[in-house]
Structure 1
Amino acid sequence: MTPIRTTLAGAAALGAMAATPALAEVSESCRSVSLAEVGWTDIQATTGVATTVLDALGYSTDVNVTSVPITFVGLEQGDIDVFLGLWMPSMAGMVTERLENGSVEQIRANLQGAKYTLVVPQYAADAGVTDMADLDAHKDKFGGKIYGIESGNDGNLLIQDMIDADAFGLGDWDLVESSEAGMLLQAAGAFESGEWIAFLGWAPHPMNTKMDLVYLTGGDDYFGPNQGGATVYTLTRAGLSEDCPNLGSFLNNLEFSVEMENILMAAILDHGESAGSAATKFLKANPGLLDAWLDGVTTVEGEPGLPAVKAELGVE
């Protein structure tokens, strides 16, 4: 009988070993990932990077182009899994209660050193407009207008808050809403003709190299300190990291740099590349980024993620 028990024990051990890879596989419910993209080039770029890597890991990704308010509702309802564009502190009014009640989860800061506030041309700054409080004294030069992006955007809401509160004497100014592309087209025309314009600016973005901009001071109560100094966070639906730990590990590893995003956005805006194409080219040129991003991350089949993604991209 002893030999039989030994054989059975060995068979059980072998069975357990054979089953180990299956235990590491990503569950079917976690293999599809929905990401929000709100029409900003920086979020197009970072979402393009994330989906390129996730696709190479075997995930099925779906990018939802939507507004910021609908993104937060989608995360709360579980219709959207991931949003890589939580700009803080400008979005604090939209997200703080949701974070506190647990309806969404903040994973990590994915970008440090960003900026987000009002900007003017250097020639307007040279003439004395360097602070929010300087705007109203030159209302006629600016036409009494501040240009924002799409309706419902947090930056637009902050501008409207300033107008409604008559902060800096802006109570009789108008917010002009359009889109990122529309606003920048308006700004480019103003620069070309030497006209004065005040609009919503941010970094990273190629606008900072195409136009000689000055970020206005004085807006700390609205846009945050340090001339709109900002940090961008990754946000997910509640329970994502617990339900889908492999995806959670990847999101917890994923971070970007201002320089990286500037390169990606320039490829999208200046060369007409899709976010996916720009991301693929960038990762092929900088495969070392994957080492940290894929630390402890597997494919959906439970295989090591790093070699699989590098093989998919055709890099060593």
Structure 2
Amino acid sequence: MLSILLGTVALPVLAAEPEACKVVRMAEPGWNDLAFTTGVALTLLKALGYEPQSSLLGIDVIYLSLKNKDLDVFLGYWDPAMVTYYKPYKEEGSVEDVVTNLKGAKYTFAVPAYVWEAGVKDFADLQKFPDQFEKKLYGIEPGSNQLMIDATKDQALGLDGWEVVESSEQGMLAEVQRRAKDKAFIVFQGWAPHPMNTAFDIRYLTGGDKFYGPDFGAATVSTQVRKGYLKECPNVARLLSNLTFDIAFENKGMGYLMTDGLSPEEAAVKALADEPQRLDAWLEGVTAFDGKNGRDMVKAKLSL
């Protein structure tokens, strides 16, 4: 279906996008990888003459908002980590997939290297050190830790009575940093791409296939939209179908957020200045909102 819809966008006839498409409503859950990629989308859409907006929402709220047509675009469906969140909306058809925008990602439990060397190499090893861990597992924002919560309920792992501490990505990593200074035990949600993989000496735990999937939660990230959006706004649909990333690019962009303190859009502009050639593929067949050449418009607006 998507290929049919996008095929109409590729026709060599320039026409302005419908006025209703000018405002593009997006959301992300506060994770730095999604903040960065959403920042890239915002930057490109603004340069094309659109008026994109981005909200910071929990995963469950994002999906409900897509279903209710209060949001248009979400760039952050992690598969398989978010399968349980997406499943009911996929089954009813209220949320649609556009493209896999990142491959080679992973997501599962992680510990500092000194904890791994002390004998915590698998999910099943956690129960051997309840006092050292203070029976706590550290997650990110509320609504995004269901897999971690599910693990505490699995009788085979012996984690009855363990608490999942929910805060935010930044709060969780601040706790990792604090405990690492004292070589204290901590287990937390770890993933790649993310600068945590270079900022800390960490190891990913085996044994989580039941929850996160095989190969340390090997994952893909996909772009999704509300039902009907691809047909309503075919030019934005073309941009979204072209907008794919890689681990190295996202690591760089997240570094600009976390180390340099840039905003998502500032980080996007800096990353694009480093690699302007990415625009050629991203803007293939894409026009500006008013129907003019999209690639020329973006390069001019961003001085690239």
Give the structure with higher Rg (CA): 1
- 1:262-277 map, 5 Å: 262-277=251-266
Quote the residue 2:7 is aligned against. Answer: none
Distance (whole Å) between structure 2 residues aligned to residue 233 and residue 21 of structure 1: 28
How far residue 22 of structure 1 moved from its aligned partner, in angstroms, is: 8.8
2:68 to 61, 77, 82: 77
Distance (whole Å) between structure 1 residues aligned to residue 219 and residue 156 of structure 2: 21
How far residue 166 of structure 1 moved from its aligned partner, in angstroms, is: 2.5
1:62 to 53, 74, 90: 53
Quote the residue 1:43 is aligned against. Answer: 34
The question of whether the paired residues in 2 share the 8 Å contact of 1:162 and 1:171 is answered with: no
Amino acid at match of 1:296: G
How far residue 129 of structure 1 moved from its aligned partner, in angstroms, is: 1.2
How far residue 127 of structure 1 moved from its aligned partner, in angstroms, is: 1.8
Stretches of 4+ moved more than 6 A in 1? 20-23
Quote the residue 1:101 is aligned against. Answer: 92
Structure with higher helix content = 1
Count of residues in correspondence between the two structures: 294
Unaligned runs of 5+ in 2: 1-10
| Cα-to-partner distance string for 1:20-71 (whole Å, 9 max, x where unaligned) | 9996111101111001021111111001000100111101111111111110
2:296 to 287, 307, 313: 307
Distance (whole Å) between structure 1 residues aligned to residue 111 and residue 156 of structure 2: 18
The question of whether the paired residues in 2 share the 8 Å contact of 1:121 and 1:211 is answered with: yes
Quote the residue 2:189 is aligned against. Answer: 200
| Cα-to-partner distance string for 1:200-249 (whole Å, 9 max, x where unaligned) | 11111111101011011110110111011111110101111111111101
1:116 to 107, 115, 121: 107
Distance (whole Å) between structure 1 residues aligned to residue 119 and residue 76 of structure 2: 33
Q: Percent identity over the alignment?
A: 46
The question of whether the paired residues in 2 share the 8 Å contact of 1:22 and 1:301 is answered with: no
Quote the residue 1:126 is aligned against. Answer: 117
3-state SS of 1:32 partner: coil
Amino acid at match of 2:303: G
Amino acid at match of 1:176: V
1:150 maps to 2:150: no
- 1:117-266 map, 5 Å: 117-153=108-144, 156-266=145-255
Distance (whole Å) between structure 2 residues aligned to residue 178 and residue 167 of structure 1: 27
**TM-score, normalized by length of structure 1?**
0.90
| Cα-to-partner distance string for 1:168-208 (whole Å, 9 max, x where unaligned) | 11122111111111111110011111111101111111111
| Cα-to-partner distance string for 1:81-135 (whole Å, 9 max, x where unaligned) | 0011111101111112211211010111111111111001111111221111111
Aligned-residue CA RMSD in angstroms?
A: 1.4
Distance (whole Å) between structure 2 residues aligned to residue 157 and residue 97 of structure 1: 15
